[in-house]
A and B are shown apart, each in its own frame.
Chain A
Amino acid sequence: MTGLGWGVKSLGRHPLRTALSLAGIAVASAMLLDMVMLSGGIEKSFSDLLLARGYQIRLTPKGTLPFDTEASIGGASHAVRTIRADSGVEAAGAVLGTSIYGRAHDSLVTLFGYGIQPEAQGIYQVTAGADLAPGDTLGVLLSETAAQLLGAAPGDTVTLVGRLDPQMADAAVGRRLAVRGEVRWIYDYRGQPSVGTVLPVMQRLGRDAAEDRASLLLVKVADGAAVEDVAARLRERFPHLEVSSVADLVVQAKRRLVYFTQLSYVLGGMSLIVAVLLVGTLLTITVNERLGEIATLRAIGVSRGTIVRQVFAEGTALTVLGAGFGIVLGLATAEYLDAILTSFPGLPASFSFFVPRADTLGLAALVLLVTGSLAGLYPAWLASRAPIAATLRAEAT
């Protein structure tokens, strides 16, 4: 039976009441959506970031995370050769991160220096100019901010210096390098002035040349090889290093940002409660107001099932409409909240806390729809159980 949609149409009887309920559900849905996006966004965004260049395994000094401390790995080149020899490895490269300086006119600017192996790099994307060639000891790559600070562009020459000696007021080491290209360093925070050279050059600019040190080793697993199997072999081969797959690192990141995940659960739960209360309260009061009408419908032969379906449909329509507005509102507020959280100092510029995904949106909508509809169950039951004769007697007085 069609029921002629009188349940849904009943929403139009009290426009102000319905509008307020819709607004409440919309705000609650927006909050729910934001919190669902936040709970899964950290994981997704961090995972995407780590896999941006397809490297699935990181080796770092024992007990540390990539670039989390100044600890470094000795004998990096030998370690990389050993890793590359593994049949499950497609590519491996070492990265050194250190503080260095660049000459800008008459002054020195502090830069973050990456030592890389261009033939196997997983930490940047070239945005202008050219990449470094393997073994290019005369070239350098700059981030946009570093290029601005040094006043240089691809084709220009810059001077990088390291190991400053305050007593001598001079740098112990300096190199003039040709800018090959401008790059986006994937793990840089917004506005980070970073430069990159081949590993031996950066080791010399820092103080790690003698021991061939690197901050981390990146490993890309060959097609057909299992990441966890390769990671297990590397753990066995390098017991003094921390071997982390992307999944391991995501777990670590989630542990650090656990507050936000838990907050998202709590606020998401509260949003659901608000939505349920709104739908439940509105329908209960509406049904109570219409008991006479419902008793009449029962008297003329409308079944309990039809009454339940119509009241249920009313709750569902309210929830769907409210959630529809809520999605728009939620996406807007998520952008605003994300802008706040991504201003955390030291956070990679491409990291997001609120990541809109079809499955996230779907999950939020489904959860809201189910709970919102369930909230209509009690009023629907109440409506279907109203005693016909007694209600009609009461109505007649």
Chain B
Amino acid sequence: MLVARDLRKDYPMNGETVHALRGASLTVEPGEYVALVGPSGSGKSTLLQIVGGIDTPTAGTVEILGTRLETLSDRELTRLRLTRLGFVFQRFHLLPVLTARENVELPMAEAGVKGADRRARARRLLDYVGLGHREGHRATQLSGGEMQRVAIARALANRPAVLLADEPTGELDAATGQEILDLFRRLNTDGTTLLVVTHDERLAAQAGRTVHMLDGRIVSEAAAP
């Protein structure tokens, strides 16, 4: 489903070159739940962004569902992110002027889903993440955990093949973070493929496979017992 081969990423910072990735390779199979862990600056987020098509590698290739990302134009890459990938970020990034339902509708509207259909699906997704009763509330009226659940519903809007999450519990307290972990587990049980960057040991523990990174390289992988 997702194959990254020998990824390298260099970028300049304050006049020096940062080697964010130094030959990282990763494969994620359909239905897998993979946690990417490692210390800050180890290249986890960079790897996630490159396999998610929002950044480009200095060298190496990424293949998603048989499509080589480097062969795609910006427009095609945007379309792929919209329809085949789902993203969840640490800081949620919901549009504060829209309601929870409208935030979930946004990717569907972009994909051209008709109004009634997307409203119905947005409601179903909000019910799925346990926020059906909050659909009319603006993002600013939701708690951190609720915002992250809306963000997850938004990521699932166009039925992505893979859900990519970058520190999804990073901004949440332990109890709220646990709710997100439970949601992720349920998502995976229901068939969603997950690749999650995290510092949260609980999240890593519940993943099917944990990939450890250090200094831009994958140093070890461990399947759940």
Contact = CB atoms under 8 A, between A and B. Distances in A.
Contact of A300 (B81, B90, B96): B81
Contact of B55 (A2, A10, A304, A389): A389
Given A9-B98, A300-B107, A1 B91 contact: no
B98 A395 contact: no
A2 B102 CA distance: 11
B103 to A, nearest CB: 9
A6 B97 CA distance: 7
13 contacts: A1-B111, A1-B112, A6-B95, A9-B97, A12-B97, A292-B93, A296-B87, A300-B86, A301-B107, A301-B110, A302-B106, A389-B46, A389-B55
Contacts, number: 90
A293 B98 contact: no
A395 B110 CA distance: 24
B61 interface: no
Interface string A1-23: 11110100110110000000000
Interface of A: 1-4, 6, 9-10, 12-13, 292-293, 296-304, 306, 388-390, 392-393, 395-396
B82 interface: yes
A1 B98 contact: no
Contacts of B115: 2
Nearest to A292: B93
Contact of A302 (B55, B75, B89, B107): B107
B78 interface: yes
B216 interface: no
Interface in B32-88: 45-46, 49, 52, 54-55, 74-75, 78-83, 85-87
By Cβ-Cβ distance, the 5 closest A-B pairs, closest first, are A301-B82, A389-B55, A296-B93, A9-B97, A301-B81
B146 interface: no
Given A293-B93, A299-B81, A392-B54, 12 more contacts: A6-B95, A9-B98, A293-B95, A301-B78, A301-B79, A301-B81, A303-B75, A306-B110, A389-B46, A392-B49, A396-B45, A396-B166
A2 to B, nearest CB: 5
Contact of A301 (B83, B89, B102): B83
Contacts of A292: 91, 93
B97 A299 contact: no
B87 to A, nearest CB: 5
A395 B49 contact: no
Interface string B6-28: 00000100000000000000000
B98 A6 contact: yes
Nearest to B74: A304
A4 B98 contact: yes
Given A13-B97, A388-B54, A396-B45, A300 B109 contact: no
A303 B110 contact: yes
A10 B46 CA distance: 30
A5 to B, nearest CB: 9
A1 B113 CA distance: 8
Contact of A299 (B54, B74, B90, B158): B54
Given A303-B110, A392-B89, A4 B78 contact: no
A300 B95 contact: no
Contacts of A293: 93, 95
B75 A4 contact: no
B195 to A, nearest CB: 14
Contacts of A304: 74, 78
A26 B11 CA distance: 47
A299 B49 CA distance: 9
Instruction: With a 10 A CB-CB cut-off, give which of A3, A298, A393 has the most chain B CB atoms.
Output: A393
Given A299-B54, A303-B75, A3 B109 contact: yes
Given A4-B105, A302-B106, A392-B89, A13 B96 contact: yes
Contacts of A1: 109-112
A389 B89 CA distance: 12
B155 interface: yes
B82 A300 contact: yes
Nearest to B108: A1
A277 B93 CA distance: 29
B154 interface: yes
A283 to B, nearest CB: 15
Given A1-B109, A1-B110, A4-B106, A298 B78 contact: yes
A210 B189 CA distance: 116
B107 A299 contact: no
B91 A396 contact: yes
A140 B5 CA distance: 106
Given A2-B115, A10-B97, A13-B96, A299 B52 contact: yes
Q: Which interface residue of B54, B79, B107 has the most chain A CB atoms within 10 A?
A: B54
A302 to B, nearest CB: 5
Contacts of B85: 301
B74 to A, nearest CB: 8
Contacts of A298: 54, 78
